[in-house]
């Protein structure tokens, strides 16, 4: 039993293709505490989706230690019941909003998880109402899922997980198929859950501005952890991000380019507002000199 | 594509809409039995009256109800014509070559017409027009649940129906997208003979199949992640309760059935031979 909520040590995972062993994760070690909001960044094929699937018991690791919420997933003889118990605590939001909703009516879909757990009817009703309120979809309880926008569908999917009262929420590129409005809806929902309900969030993404809002950013490249730190620490290293095949956020790129020209800018801006403020201040200082 | 509606459900606040779906399944079976019980003009008149009462109760536009009859129009005409010429009786009205029309034939043909119309209208008013597909699925699951004793996969069947209801609109949307994509590449779906046309469907079906399998795979994973393990130990959010109105409806329809039987016996006029 490990002390961290998620404990990963020297984790190795591979898949077989045409009889060839293709390694995806080559020795990853990390610990995530309860209540953290972690973004996992990486380009396509960096192994970030595999990591998400390992954390939820969809895939089994080939070597190394993997503990999630007290369950030892690195045990090769783990039984179905323990994986079932794990999934009560670990919710997973997938990329395609259409392929994870089961029922036609919003509240029926949210009820699907608790129904599977065998929760008494009256309590399911309470949980569904609470979950829909938390994601701001109460007005759509009786709506047809096919008539919702992508962001709304993802929020319903999140509500479906909340209704199972998980302590960890994994999002596997949950915003990749959404428009900017839908993306913001989903991110704000997740942030609220993390802040108000204390749900640990692991967000797999390749959007820099989403990662910038997390407490902690882990950069994966070629199955290894390239960097692990606060967004400020990570985004102050544009060379590292480029090496990982990731875009450098525009504000980071701008401040670093200005610094290279000898303009002294303090700090590391994470949002466009911060960036604009720093640049304006520097400009004013120059002018007054 | 936002308003893909499955089935014929018409939302309205009518007494028929409020009835329990399970009761409505039973009621429509009973009503169908009644249409087959009716044998003479009095009984058929009672059937038509009951149908009109249902139409009035349902608050569904007449135009929509007529639409339900359209698909069976051919069967209706066919049955009527067959009955008209085949029925032999005592009062010959018309004879030409080998075709004979008896008065009994006219009676039989019109009775058959009334029977089919009341059957179609009655059952669609009691079920498809006033019950959502989801309610219907739940009702069927609940009514068939005793069959679990015989190891029939009732829950799995209902789950399949639910998922089908959820994905049919999605797949139809996707079919339209693929067809547009193929059209953009110069495929014309409206030219050529039957063989050619079927051939031009292949480039639609293959991507559709591939994407359906991918969807099915992803959905299965998502369902497992939400702790789905089949019907065992599962609870339901809403447990439907039978209300007094459901009992009243059942009693009324049973009385109606008894009435039909009595009218068959004591009513006057021509009695159908079959």
pLDDT in tens, chain B (274 residues): 334 455 678 888 899 999 999 999 999 999 999 999 998 899 999 999 999 999 999 999 998 888 888 889 999 999 999 988 888 888 888 888 878 888 888 888 999 999 999 999 999 888 888 988 888 888 988 899 898 888 888 888 889 988 988 888 889 889 999 989 888 988 787 777 888 888 888 888 999 999 999 999 999 999 999 999 887 888 888 888 889 999 999 999 999 999 999 998 888 777 776 5
For strands A6-17 and A20-32, give the pairing: antiparallel
Cβ contacts of B2 on chain A, cutoff 8 Å? 146-147
Concatenating the DSSP letter of every residue in A52-101 gives HHHHTTSS--SEEEEEETTEETT-TT--HHHHHHHHHHEEEE-S-GGGG-
- Interface check for B232 against chain A (CB to CB < 8 A): the answer is no
Buried b (16+ CB within 10 A) or exposed e, B177-205: ebbeebeeeeeeeeeeeeeeeeebeebbe
Looking at CATH, the fold of the domain delimited by A34-60+77-232 is given as Rossmann fold (3.40.50)
Cβ contacts of B171 on chain A, cutoff 8 Å? none
pLDDT value at A183 more than 50 = yes
For residue B166, give the nearest of A101, A107, A124 by CB distance. Answer: A101
Mean pLDDT of chain A: 89
pLDDT digits (tens, 9 = 90+) for B88-146: 888 888 888 878 888 888 888 999 999 999 999 999 888 888 988 888 888 988 899 89
Give the ipTM of the model, two decimals please. 0.85
| Residue A243, pLDDT score | 86
Quick one: A214 exposed, middle or buried, by C-beta within 10 A (0-12, 13-18, 19+)? buried
pLDDT value at A2 more than 60 = no
Q: Which of B27, B13, B18, B104 is nearest to B60 (CA)?
A: B13
Q: Which of A201, A209, A193, A98 is nearest to A136 (CA)?
A: A193
pLDDT value at A1 more than 70 = no
| Residue B2, pLDDT score | 37
- Interface check for A147 against chain B (CB to CB < 8 A): the answer is yes
Cβ contacts of B225 on chain A, cutoff 8 Å? 56, 58, 87, 91-92
Min Cα distance B152 → chain A (Å) is 20
Long-range contacts of B220-225 (CB under 8 A, 24+ apart): B221/A58, B221/A94, B222/A92, B222/A94, B222/A99, B222/A100, B222/A102, B223/A102, B223/A112, B224/A58, B224/A87, B225/A56, B225/A58, B225/A87, B225/A91, B225/A92
Cα dist from B191 to A115, B180, B195, B197, B199, whole Å: 51, 16, 10, 7, 11
Cβ within 8 Å, pair B226-A116 = yes
pLDDT digits (tens, 9 = 90+) for A110-164: 999 999 999 999 999 999 999 999 999 999 998 888 889 999 999 999 999 999 9
Min Cα distance A212 → chain B (Å) is 28
What are the backbone angles phi and psi of residue A32, rounded to the nearest 5°?
-120, 130
pLDDT value at A30 more than 50 = yes
Min Cα distance B16 → chain A (Å) is 20
| Residue B132, pLDDT score | 84
| Residue A168, pLDDT score | 94
- Over range A90-104, report the average pLDDT: 91
What are the backbone angles phi and psi of residue B226, rounded to the nearest 5°?
-95, 25
For residue A115, give the nearest of B2, B224, B237 by CB distance. Answer: B237
Place of tokens 């997973």: A92
Q: Which of A87, A242, A16 is nearest to B223 (CA)?
A: A87
| Residue B4, pLDDT score | 44
pLDDT band at A76 (very low <50, low <70, confident <90, very high): confident
- Over range A194-206, report the average pLDDT: 92
In chain B, the residue whose alpha carbon lies closest to the alpha carbon of A164 is B226
Q: Which of B60, B178, B45, B212 is nearest to B115 (CA)?
A: B45
pLDDT value at A101 more than 70 = yes
Model pTM score: 0.81
Total Cβ atoms within 10 A of residue A65 = 16
Cβ contacts of A49 on chain B, cutoff 8 Å? none
| Residue B29, pLDDT score | 94
Cβ contacts of A164 on chain B, cutoff 8 Å? 226-227
Cβ within 8 Å, pair B222-A118 = no
Residues linked to residue A92 through DSSP beta bridges, in sequence order: A170
3-state secondary structure A26-54: EEEEEEECCCCEEEEECCCCCCHHHHHHH
Q: CA quadruple B67, B71, B73, B79: dihedral positive or negative?
A: negative
Domain extents in chain A: 34-60+77-232, 249-289
For residue A116, give the nearest of B134, B169, B229 by CB distance. Answer: B229
Taking only residues 91 to 110 of chain A, the set having a beta carbon closer than 8 angstroms to any beta carbon of chain B reads 91-92, 94, 96, 98-105, 107-108
| Residue B7, pLDDT score | 62
- Interface check for B165 against chain A (CB to CB < 8 A): the answer is yes
Which range, A100-104, A269-273, B28-32, has the best average confidence (pLDDT)? B28-32
In chain A, the residue whose alpha carbon lies closest to the alpha carbon of B218 is A99
pLDDT value at A19 more than 70 = yes
């Amino acid at each position: 039993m490990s002390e961290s909520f998620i404990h990963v040590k020297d984790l190795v995972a591979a898949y077989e293709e045409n009889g060839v062993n293709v390694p995806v994760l080559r020795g990853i070690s990390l610990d995530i505490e309860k209540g953290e909001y972690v973004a996992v960044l990486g380009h396509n094929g960096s192994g970030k989706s595999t990591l998400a699937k390992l954390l939820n018991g969809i895939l089994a690791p080939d070597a190394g230690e993997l503990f999630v919420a007290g369950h030892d997933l690195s045990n090769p003889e783990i039984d179905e019941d323990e994986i079932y118990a794990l999934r009560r605590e670990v919710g997973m939001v997938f990329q395609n909003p259409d392929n994870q909703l089961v029922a036609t009516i919003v509240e029926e879909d949210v009820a699907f998880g608790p129904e599977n757990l065998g929760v008494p009817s009256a309590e399911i009703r309470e949980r569904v109402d609470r979950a829909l309120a938390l994601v701001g979809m109460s007005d759509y309880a009786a709506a047809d899922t096919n008539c919702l926008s992508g962001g709304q569908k993802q929020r319903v999917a999140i509500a479906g997980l909340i209704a199972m009262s998980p302590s960890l929420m994994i999002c596997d590129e949950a915003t990749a198929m959404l428009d900017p409005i839908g993306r913001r809806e989903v991110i704000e929902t997740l942030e609220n859950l993390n802040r108000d309900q204390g749900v640990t969030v692991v967000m797999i993404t390749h959007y820099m501005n989403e990662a910038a809002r997390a407490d902690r950013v882990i950069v994966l490249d070629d199955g290894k952890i390239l960097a692990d730190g606060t967004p400020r620490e990570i985004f102050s290293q544009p060379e590292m991000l480029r090496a990982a095949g990731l875009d450098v956020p525009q504000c980071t790129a701008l401040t670093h380019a200005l610094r290279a020209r000898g303009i002294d800018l303090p700090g590391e801006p994470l949002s466009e507002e911060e960036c604009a403020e720093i640049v304006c201040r520097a400009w004013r200082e120059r002018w007054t000199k | 594509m936002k308003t893909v509606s499955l089935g014929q459900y018409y939302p309205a606040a009518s007494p028929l809409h409020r009835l329990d779906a399970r009761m409505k399944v039973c009621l429509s079976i009973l009503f169908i039995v009644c249409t087959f019980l009716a044998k003479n003009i009095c009984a058929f008149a009672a059937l038509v009256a009951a149908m009109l009462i249902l139409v009035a109760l349902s608050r569904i536009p007449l135009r929509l109800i007529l639409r339900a009859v359209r698909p069976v129009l051919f069967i209706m005409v066919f049955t009527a014509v067959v009955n008209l010429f085949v029925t032999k009786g005592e009062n010959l009205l018309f004879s030409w070559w080998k075709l004979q029309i008896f008065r009994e034939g006219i009676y039989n043909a019109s009775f058959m017409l009334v029977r089919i119309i009341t059957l179609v209208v009655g059952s669609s008013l009691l079920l498809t027009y006033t019950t959502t597909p989801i309610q219907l699925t739940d009702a069927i699951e609940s009514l068939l649940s005793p069959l679990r004793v015989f190891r029939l996969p009732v829950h799995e069947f209902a789950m399949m129906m639910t998922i089908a209801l959820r994905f049919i609109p999605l797949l139809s949307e996707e079919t339209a997208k693929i067809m547009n994509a193929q059209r953009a590449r110069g495929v014309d779906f409206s030219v050529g003979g039957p063989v050619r046309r079927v051939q031009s469907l292949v480039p639609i079906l293959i991507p559709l199949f591939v994407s359906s399998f991918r969807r099915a795979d992803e959905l299965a994973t998502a369902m497992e992640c939400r702790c789905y393990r089949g019907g065992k130990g599962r609870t339901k959010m809403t447990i439907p309760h039978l209300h007094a109105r459901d009992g009243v409806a059942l009693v009324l329809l049973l009385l109606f059935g008894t009435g039909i039987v009595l009218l068959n016996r004591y009513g006057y006029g021509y009695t159908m031979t079959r």
